[in-house]
Amino acid sequence: MPQSVLCRERVTGRLPQPLSAAALEDILSVSKAELEAQDADTLTVSVTPDRLDLLSEGGLALYVEGATDHAKGILRPHIVEGLGTAPSFEVDPSVHALRPAIAGVLITAPTDAGLDEGTLAEAVRFQELLHATLGRDRRAASLGIYPYERLVPPFRYALESLRGVRFVPLGASEEVSGEEFFRDHPMATKYGVLGRVENACLTIRDSNGTVLSLPPILNGRTGGEARVGDRVLLLESTGIRERTVREALGLLLVVFVSRGWSVAPVPLRTEVGTSSDGRDVFTPRSVDLLAEALHSLSGTFYAPGEVERRLGRIRLTAHAHSGGWKVDVPSWRPDLLTGVDLIEEVILAQVIQPEEGIVPAGLTRGRRRRESVFRRRIATALLGLGLAAPYTSLLVSENAVQRVPGAAPIRLSNPPSSEFAYVRDRLLLSHLEVLSRNTRHGYPQTFGEVAPVIVPLPTAEAGGETRYHAGMILARETAGFADAAALLDYLLRTLDIGAVREPAELPGMTPGRAARVRVAGETVGEVGEVHPGVLAGMGVPVPVAWAELDLTQLFPLLGGRE
């Protein structure tokens, strides 16, 4: 889940009364945000991918104000017209083949003091977060923040020859040519392919020829460095699709609109005329919520005014009519597209208290399945052996799979990212990832857990079968095959089961120092010493022993003796 560290004062500072740590945690418990940690100054918040606005201090502040009844309904930005020379983007046809979509908006500070340090820091942090999530590492969309008062509109977005580009990169002090920038600058090395075709690159310039930025790579220092005290800013987004560009810009707006900044449209002009007046970036949308659908999907008939009250608390405004409601949705809520999305919001807006739970009538209360009892027994035994439980994810990264030669887990057909590209077929993949992330901590490191894996099974509908494994890792100076084998033997002895070990060549293990464990002819476990080459690639300086037990395969062999 995306995560960010926010300033507590900027989130709760506008409330009439201080909000306790427990109260804030209760408020977020019914939202799509989770409070991971908090102290007197900061909040560490993670959210579901559809509520990125809650990772900004402004967006979370709006939500908290609504949840505490300090403010209700949609926050509508004040629209300013006629700021001198009408700003606009002139879009050259040359950009269409590389990065065709662009949008912009002009924002004005609520006071003469202009941009403050906190808002600038929040905007830059949220900008980079949007690059990494919605923008797919700037491929789908990127954002720029510019000091409008130091620029001369209109602005031109075009593909130019590298020879004609000279500018001072943001953070530098000397002017460079386009060729030098793409050859030497680290940002060009990382993102240059997204904004360059052969000997030409994308540029945004003002009417004086000042380079605002080379999207989506880097701003220019002269025309693209927003500073504390700037009163009017130009926000811009470029990308592959118009919808993604508008969504990214609408999300960034919440940082400023929540602090009282005004907005003004920036039209787009092409060779054939005006293609957009720019108002779709910040104008609230209207989404229909049908009463019949709400009652059908929620199973509840709501009292008059209840739907409007609930939506008002999450900073939406509902207008009732004969068939349901018209709901006004701000630009920083791109997740609300249909009535079904709004039904989910209505249900989530109900604050459920523990005492509201009802035990259904019946003679029995149910009990855990025998397999669950068995797995809990093994997990307790691991804790008794002094092994910490890491609680790892079922999904593993490409690096984790490449780290273990010969591993063959199932790859997702449409992975959300390289960090979650495979479903593990053994806990070893996740546990080596744990070791790689803890190389700065001391040794020994010993841990183990009982968790699910997905093993390939061609006859299964999804191509795999869920199994539960008990995995153990010993990382210490004296770790070896005998230690891992002793752990597995101990677990089997607690179940009164005898086993046989057979030498085997296992992925990621040292040849001659690995084995499979069989019970009644069935393979129920694997043990081994992790190959030194694998450990060197992770930066782990001590030997590592590994053992893994297939609890799903073992349970039927117990004959009811769990």
Q: What is the pLDDT of residues 538-548, one digit of tens each?
A: 999 999 999 99
Q: Which of 114-118, 349-353, 455-459 has the highest mean pLDDT?
A: 114-118
Tell whether the torsion through CA atoms of 351, 357, 358 and 362 is positive or negative.
positive
pLDDT tens digits along 27-81: 888 888 999 999 989 999 999 999 999 999 999 999 999 999 899 999 999 998 7
> 245 and 345: one domain?
no
Residue 444 CA to residue 438 CA, distance in Å, equals: 11
Q: What is the DSSP string of 414-435?
A: S-SSGGG-EE-SSHHHHHHHHH
pLDDT tens digits along 153-190: 999 999 999 999 999 999 999 999 999 999 999 999 99
- Band the pLDDT of 300: cuts 50, 70, 90: confident
Task: Kindly list the distances between the CA atom of residue 89 and the CA atoms of 107, 209, 242, 270, in Å, as whole numbers in the listed order.
Answer: 15, 14, 14, 9
Q: Is there a domain that residue 133 lies in? A: yes
Domain end residue (candidates: 247, 281, 315): 281
Rg (CA), the chain: 29
pLDDT of residue 272: 74
> 241 and 336: one domain?
no
> 377 and 486: one domain?
yes
CATH of the domain at 440: 3.30.930.10
pTM exceeding 0.75: no
pLDDT of residue 510: 94
Assess whether pLDDT exceeds 70 at residue 508: yes
> 266 and 318: one domain?
no
* Average pLDDT along the chain: 91
- Band the pLDDT of 83: cuts 50, 70, 90: low
Domain end residue (candidates: 302, 318, 352): 352
pLDDT tens digits along 306-322: 999 999 999 999 999 99
Whether the Cβ atoms of residue 485 and residue 494 lie closer than 8 Å to each other: no
pLDDT of residue 561: 54
Helix segments in 454-502, DSSP class H: 481-494
> 34 and 158: one domain?
no
Domain end residue (candidates: 257, 281, 305): 281
Q: Residues 528, 531, 534, CA angle at the centre, nearest 5°?
A: 130
What percent of the chain is modeled with pLDDT above 70? Answer: 95
For residue 54, give both structure tokens: 């809650």
> 277 and 327: one domain?
no
pLDDT tens digits along 335-364: 999 999 999 999 888 765 555 666 667 666
Q: Is there a domain that residue 409 lies in? A: yes
User: Which amino acid belongs to residue 551?
Assistant: L
Range of the domain at 150: 89-281
- Band the pLDDT of 368: cuts 50, 70, 90: confident
Q: Is there a domain that residue 245 lies in? A: yes
Q: Is there a domain that residue 517 lies in? A: yes
Assess whether pLDDT exceeds 70 at residue 82: no
- Band the pLDDT of 458: cuts 50, 70, 90: confident
Q: Residues 38, 440, 424, CA angle at the centre, nearest 5°?
A: 80
**Angle subtended by helix axes 339-348 and 291-298, to nearest 10:** 50
CATH of the domain at 171: 3.50.40.10
- How many CB atoms are located within 10 Å of the residue 321 CB? 10
Assess whether pLDDT exceeds 70 at residue 555: yes
Assess whether pLDDT exceeds 60 at residue 85: no
Residue at token pair 């991971």: 36
> 332 and 274: one domain?
no
Phi-psi map region of 508: left, alpha, beta (phi>0 left; psi -120 to 50 alpha): left
Q: Is there a domain that residue 521 lies in? A: yes
pLDDT of residue 54: 95
Higher pLDDT, 95 or 459: 95
Q: 89-91 and 268-270: which strand pairing?
A: parallel
Structurally, the chain folds into a number of domains equal to: 4
Q: What is the DSSP string of 166-192?
A: EE-BTT-SS-EEHHHHHHH-HHHHHHG
Residue 73 CA to residue 330 CA, distance in Å, equals: 10
Q: 544-550 and 522-530: which strand pairing?
A: antiparallel
pLDDT of residue 84: 53
CATH of the domain at 61: 3.30.56.10
- Count of helix runs (H) and strand runs (E) in the chain: 17, 29
Assess whether pLDDT exceeds 90 at residue 413: no
pLDDT of residue 271: 82
pLDDT of residue 445: 94
> 250 and 193: one domain?
yes
> 300 and 277: one domain?
no
> 406 and 540: one domain?
yes
Reported as half-sphere exposure (CB side, CA atoms, 13 A), residue 442 has a value of: 0
What's the gap between Cα 3 and its chain centre? 7
For residue 18, give both structure tokens: 């201080």
Q: Residues 147, 149, 151, CA angle at the centre, nearest 5°?
A: 80
For residue 350, give both structure tokens: 């109900």
Whether the Cβ atoms of residue 351 and residue 272 lie closer than 8 Å to each other: no
Q: Is there a domain that residue 15 lies in? A: yes
Whether the Cβ atoms of residue 468 and residue 375 lie closer than 8 Å to each other: yes
pLDDT of residue 462: 74
Residue 177 CA to residue 165 CA, distance in Å, equals: 6
pLDDT of residue 461: 77
pLDDT of residue 354: 54
- How many CB atoms are located within 10 Å of the residue 383 CB? 12
Whether the Cβ atoms of residue 479 and residue 461 lie closer than 8 Å to each other: no
Assess whether pLDDT exceeds 70 at residue 560: no
> 302 and 427: one domain?
no
> 383 and 506: one domain?
yes
Widest Cα–Cα separation across the chain: 86
For residue 268, give both structure tokens: 């787009």
pLDDT tens digits along 119-143: 999 999 999 999 999 999 999 999 9
Residue at token pair 């030669």: 405
Q: Is there a domain that residue 211 lies in? A: yes
Q: Is there a domain that residue 359 lies in? A: no
